[in-house]
């Protein structure tokens, strides 16, 4: 009897998901058709990223919810709307759902219609003029409508970490958190992205209890883990969708906020697993919650979610200015302070020139000027400087007061005229050098920045680089 009841509930869940998805697909086409026919979506100016006294950035947000309301009668007449309401009738938490997510309650309207209207608004919230039905947005809205109930047992949350591979069959990072090669999974989620990966990838598995708030805690753990890996090495990011597995053949999608570039080529050999485990634990425990360091870390991660390092240059420079240039960019002190912290004294003048050149790219990008072939390399260097500083401060190798430390180093090693001339000559012949060779020589292992915890980058053939 219990088995029959469980199978019935699972069948109702599948029917609800299918009915709502069919309605959302028809609504997507109908709303996009209205836009194509000349009906305009309104916009509002919103402020994002404000923190304390720091102002945020203003941007235009489409009023898609208002657009859905304006065309609701048309959406309600869609063929899939009736079956979606029938499927919704199997749920018992509709009043609680409307209390939590509805912008307003409508008197005299059947509750099933009100819930479907609220669901449509959640699916297409800030989706843009194309009203594309995105899987992450749909699954997030569906999860709000059908939350997990408190049951005995455990759930497995699986996420795909791109840009990194582990050579062991499994690596235990902490209690309930495991890394494993994708090839070790016997059953893959119904996600095409998991089947067409070309670079190194690793599966992150979290075991969570079936309890209220457990999924939100799992998302927080994935967020902390992604931050740790982003500080550990470049080009590592979680795929946009994680998957919850409660039965051998039952999968539910779990959208992950953020994401970004996963084009790294890092392989973790068994002898470096303890180092990785300790570093991930350290970042999770010491992650800053407020202040300039927390803001800079958040901005660093926003930059990693851009298409490439050049697109994230402004994010990384804003983070570095928050840490090292309180006087503002007109002071011109950022380049020298970065070089003081990140380069050896002998290479400091040349490093200052490179950073100053990278800073100048920002205005060129804004003006739409061709920035040259070296621009991406310069932007990647800025990203790596920021990564090294954040990593060393969080790990405790550097004082959080980076500004005072940089100025003290500059005062201690004031460049002599001969050193400046030598650096200028080196800059003049820079274009004849390979940028990667310069970077390796200028920031060697005896760099001022602590090298403890630095990752070992291996090619797929496992040879050290």
| Secondary structure (H, E, C), 190-220 | CCHHHCCCCCCEEEEEEEEECCCCHHHHHHH
pLDDT tens per residue, range 70-84: 888 999 999 999 999
Instruction: Look at 365 and 440; give whichever has higher pLDDT.
Output: 365
Identify whether residues 222 and 360 lie together within a single domain: no
Of 61-70, 73-82, 174-183, which has the strongest mean pLDDT?
73-82
Identify whether residues 205 and 347 lie together within a single domain: no
Q: Tell me whether residue 408 is in a domain.
A: yes
Q: Are 296 and 287 in contact (CB under 8 A)?
A: no
Q: Please state the rounded mean pLDDT for residues 51-62.
A: 52
Identify whether residues 187 and 327 lie together within a single domain: no
Q: Tell me whether residue 452 is in a domain.
A: no
pLDDT given for residue 440 in this prediction:
43
Token pair, residue 317, equals: 């420079």
Identify whether residues 189 and 255 lie together within a single domain: yes
Q: Tell me whether residue 140 is in a domain.
A: yes
Identify whether residues 118 and 224 lie together within a single domain: no
Residues 329 and 64: their CA atoms lie apart, in Å, by 38
Identify whether residues 41 and 87 lie together within a single domain: yes
Q: Are 202 and 165 in contact (CB under 8 A)?
A: yes
**Percent of the chain beyond pLDDT 90?**
41
Domain count, the chain: 3
pLDDT given for residue 343 in this prediction:
92
Residues 266 and 217: their CA atoms lie apart, in Å, by 27
Q: Please state the rounded mean pLDDT for residues 228-235.
A: 94
Identify whether residues 116 and 173 lie together within a single domain: no
Per-residue confidence band for 323, with pLDDT thresholds at 50, 70 and 90: very high
Instruction: Look at 191 and 322; give whichever has higher pLDDT.
Output: 322
Look at residue 290 and tell me whether its pLDDT is greater than 60: yes
Q: Tell me whether residue 345 is in a domain.
A: yes
Residues 218 and 205: their CA atoms lie apart, in Å, by 10
Identify whether residues 436 and 294 lie together within a single domain: yes
Identify whether residues 316 and 368 lie together within a single domain: yes
Q: Please state the rounded mean pLDDT for residues 177-181.
A: 91
Cβ neighbors of 367 (< 8 A, separation 6 or more) are: none
Instruction: Look at 54 and 33; give whichever has higher pLDDT.
Output: 33
Strand segments (E) across 232-280: 237-238, 241-247, 250-255, 266-268
Token pair, residue 165, equals: 């591979």
Q: Tell me whether residue 454 is in a domain.
A: no
pLDDT given for residue 247 in this prediction:
59
pLDDT given for residue 458 in this prediction:
41
Look at residue 52 and tell me whether its pLDDT is greater than 50: no
Q: Tell me whether residue 453 is in a domain.
A: no
Per-residue confidence band for 102, with pLDDT thresholds at 50, 70 and 90: confident
Q: Which residue has the tokens 């059908």?
A: 146
Look at residue 187 and tell me whether its pLDDT is greater than 50: yes
Look at residue 415 and tell me whether its pLDDT is greater than 90: no
pLDDT given for residue 2 in this prediction:
35
The range of the structural domain enclosing residue 50 comes to: 2-145
Identify whether residues 301 and 435 lie together within a single domain: yes
Identify whether residues 110 and 54 lie together within a single domain: yes
Cβ neighbors of 363 (< 8 A, separation 6 or more) are: none
Q: Please state the rounded mean pLDDT for residues 350-358.
A: 94
pLDDT tens per residue, range 143-171: 878 654 334 467 889 999 999 999 999 89
Look at residue 326 and tell me whether its pLDDT is greater than 90: yes
Look at residue 199 and tell me whether its pLDDT is greater than 80: yes
pLDDT given for residue 146 in this prediction:
67
pLDDT given for residue 358 in this prediction:
93
Instruction: Look at 207 and 437; give whichever has higher pLDDT.
Output: 207
Q: Please state the rounded mean pLDDT for residues 312-322.
A: 95
Identify whether residues 166 and 122 lie together within a single domain: no
Q: Tell me whether residue 447 is in a domain.
A: no
Q: Tell me whether residue 422 is in a domain.
A: yes
What's the DSSP call for residue 51?
A: B
pLDDT given for residue 419 in this prediction:
52
**Structure pTM?**
0.60
Token pair, residue 149, equals: 């109930």
């Amino acid at each position: 009897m219990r088995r029959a009841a469980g199978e019935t509930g699972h069948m109702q869940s599948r029917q609800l998901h299918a009915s709502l998805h069919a309605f959302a697909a028809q609504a997507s086409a109908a709303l996009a058709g209205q836009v194509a026919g000349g009906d305009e979506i309104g916009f509002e100016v919103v402020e994002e990223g404000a923190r304390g006294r720091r102002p945020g950035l203003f941007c235009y947000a489409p009023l898609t919810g208002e657009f859905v309301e304006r065309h609701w009668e048309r959406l309600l007449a869609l063929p899939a709307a009736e079956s979606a309401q029938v499927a919704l009738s199997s749920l018992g938490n509709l009043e609680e759902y409307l209390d939590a997510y509805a912008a307003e309650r409508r008197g005299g309207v059947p509750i099933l219609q009100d819930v479907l209207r609220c669901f449509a608004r959640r699916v297409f919230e800030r989706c843009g003029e194309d009203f594309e039905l995105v899987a992450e947005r749909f699954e997030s809205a569906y999860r709000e409508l059908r939350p997990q109930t408190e049951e005995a047992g455990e759930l497995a949350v699986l996420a795909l970490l791109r840009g990194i591979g582990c050579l062991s069959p499994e690596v235990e990072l902490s209690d309930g958190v495991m890394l494993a090669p994708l090839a070790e999974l016997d059953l893959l989620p119904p996600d095409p992205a998991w089947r067409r990966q070309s670079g190194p990838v690793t599966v992150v598995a979290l075991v969570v209890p079936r309890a209220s708030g457990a999924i939100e805690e799992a998302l927080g753990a994935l967020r902390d883990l992604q931050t740790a890996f982003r500080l550990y090495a470049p080009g590592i990011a979680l795929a946009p969708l994680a998957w919850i597995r409660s039965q051998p053949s039952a999968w539910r999608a779990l959208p992950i906020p953020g994401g970004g570039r996963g084009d790294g080529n890092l392989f973790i050999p068994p002898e470096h697993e303890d180092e990785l485990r300790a570093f991930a634990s350290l970042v999770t425990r010491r992650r800053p919650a407020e202040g300039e360091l927390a803001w800079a870390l958040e901005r660093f991660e926003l930059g990693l979610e851009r298409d490439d390092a050049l697109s994230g240059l402004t994010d990384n420079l804003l983070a570095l200015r928050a840490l090292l240039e309180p006087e503002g960019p007109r002071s011109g002190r950022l380049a020298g302070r970065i070089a003081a912290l990140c380069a050896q004294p002998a290479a400091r003048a040349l490093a200052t020139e490179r950073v100053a050149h990278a800073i100048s790219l920002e205005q060129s990008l804004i003006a739409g000027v061709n920035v040259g072939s070296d621009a991406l390399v310069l932007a990647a260097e800025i990203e790596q400087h920021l990564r090294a500083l954040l990593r060393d401060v969080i790990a405790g190798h550097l004082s959080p007061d980076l500004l005072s430390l940089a100025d003290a180093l500059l005062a201690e090693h004031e460049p002599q005229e001969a050193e400046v001339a030598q650096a200028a000559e080196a800059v003049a012949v820079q274009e004849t050098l390979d940028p990667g060779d310069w970077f390796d020589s200028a920031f060697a292992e005896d760099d001022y920045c602590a090298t403890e915890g630095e990752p070992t980058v291996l090619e797929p053939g496992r040879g050290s680089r």
